[in-house]
Amino acid sequence: MTGRTMALLLNEEQRMLKDAAREFLSGHAPLTQLRKLRDQRDPLGYCPETWRAMVELGWTGILVPEAEGGLAFGHVGMGQILEEGGRTLTASPLFATAVLGVSALVLAGSEAQRSALLPAIVAGELTLAPAFDESPRHDPQAVATHLRPQGDGFVLDGVKRFVPDGHSADRLLVSARLGETGRIALALVERSAPGVEVQRVVMADSRNSAEIHFQSVQLAAGDLLSGVEDAADTLLRLFEIGNVHLAAELLGLSLEMFEQTVEYLNTRKQFGVLIGSYQGLQHRAAHLYSELELLKSLVLKALQALDTDAAETPRLASLAKAKAGEIATLATNEAVQMHGGVGMTDELDIGFFLKRARVAEQLYGDHRYHLQRYAALCGY
């Protein structure tokens, strides 16, 4: 069948999941939760009760195959939760553990690793942190962290920066060069292992991040995800998965900003009339609406591509992340400007969205990076 088999729509189950996610997140983990975590300088950086509830809702198992105790619900389903999470900016291990950690195990884990770790993740007993980037601007080639063979195992040395959940996750998923081969390996490292030094980095968005130094960390052979096989392609696919889900989050974030702004235009009066009656603001809002419609389609198509492993996936992932980065920047900047002075105050939530938009865009590459990558993938 070469006809277009999948409509660009959510199916009934995906829609129900999206509705349930919105209800849960807005009811139990609204933005006030992140604000409180920030104001109290919470050491964990997320609310454990909320995370427990997410586990009970089955969200940790959405990308896990049924054989390993998961729901096998796919990326389109998971993307809806990320999108809704973009509206509430809920802090949780969901992205690092249930999206990237699970995907790494499903893509490259051995039988033993999968059967030991996936059920633990599903049950909420294990969290992971992807320790990939080493430089402030995303560069997948720049991996200086290395693994030196020693006896039956390996010794790990290097530095990872801006690791999501790096200071809170149980285990770290570390990309490193393997010996002298130049191949990429993915290693599972206990955060509490000797030689691992974790420094929490407080970011503008108040979400978890850390800088991690590895000094002669001893690993067993079984700690490597694909053994000594080159995991470079796995790592690239993990970045693509991460970027599509970040695009979904940025879509939700942008929609929330847009809706709050339109609401404000329909409430705020100046010169005796609603400011939304001014064409200068109407056209900017309508332009943003049109851009959001375009973004929605790219995000959904990229999520579907991940589920069907379509040949176009790498290109769609970059297009979705690039557009999401651009539009989230536009949506949050317009939100501040159209709210006027009050948009600059910490009392309003807009600042949280503005900050999160930039952090989420920079993670795994901003729109400039992804436009360049798209061009390279197309051969120009």
Partner 1 sequence: MADLEQFRRETRAWLEANCPRSMREPVVEFEDRCWGGTKWQFVSDDQKRWLEVMAERGWTAPDWPAEYGGGGLSKEETRVLREEMQRINARVPLFSMGLSMIGPALLKYGSEALKRQHIPNIVQGRIWWCQGYSEPNYGSDLAGLQTRCEDRGDHFIVNGQKVWTSYADRADWMFCLVRTDPEAPKHAGISLVLFDMNTPGVTVKPIRLISGKSPFCETFLDNVRVEKDQLVGELNRGWELATYLLTHEREMIGSIGQSNVDARLHPHAIEQLGLDRGQLADSALRTDIARWEMDQRAFELTAERITDEATAGQGVGAASSTLKYAGTEINKRRHELLVAIHGQRGLAWEGDAYDHGIIASQWLRTKGNSIEGGTSEIQLNIIAKRILGLGRA
243 neighbors 108 (Cβ within 8 angstroms): no
Tell whether residue 2 is a contact of partner 1 (CB under 8 A).
Answer: yes
Kindly state the tokens that stand for 250: 């940025």
CA gap 123, 54 in Å, rounded: 10
Task: Give DSSP secondary structure letters for 360-374.
Answer: HHHTT--HHHHHHHH
Question: Nearer Cβ to partner 1, position 8 or 202?
Answer: 8
Facing residues of 129 across strands? 172
In angstroms, give the least distance from the CB of 19 to partner 1. Answer: 14
Of the residues 235, 265, 317, 330, which one makes contact with partner 1 according to CB under 8 A = 265
- Rounded to the nearest whole angstrom, what is the least distance from the CB of residue 300 to partner 1 in the complex? 7
Q: Does 296 engage in binding with partner 1 (CB under 8 A)?
A: yes
258-283 core/surface letters (b: 16 or more CB in 10 A; e: else): bebbbebbeeeeeeeeebbeeeebee
| Cβ atoms of residues 301 and 308 within 8 Å | no
* Between 15 and 36, CB nearer to partner 1: 15
187 lies in the binding site for partner 1 (CB under 8 A): no
* 270 scored as a contact of partner 1 (CB under 8 A): no
With a CB cutoff of 8 Å and minimum separation 6, the contacts of 62 are 70, 71, 73, 74, 77, 78, 81, 98
Scanning 51-59, 76-84, 173-181, 290-298 for contacts with partner 1 by CB under 8 A, the matching segment is 290-298
Asked if residue 172 lies in contact with residue 166, where contact means CB atoms within 8 angstroms, the answer is yes
Task: By CB under 8 A, tell whether 141 contacts partner 1.
Answer: no
Residue 290 engages partner 1 in binding (rule: CB under 8 A):
yes
Binding of residue 323 to partner 1 (CB under 8 A): yes
Taking CB under 8 A as the rule, which mask of x and - marks residues 8-37 in contact with partner 1?
xx----------------------------
Subset of 325-364 contacting partner 1 (CB under 8 A): none
Q: Which residues contact 247 (CB under 8 A, 6 or more apart)?
A: 295, 298, 299, 302, 317, 320, 321, 323, 324
Residues that bind partner 1 (CB under 8 A): 2-4, 7-9, 262, 265-266, 274, 276-277, 279, 281-283, 285-287, 289-290, 293-298, 300-301, 319, 322-323, 368, 371-372, 374-376, 378-380
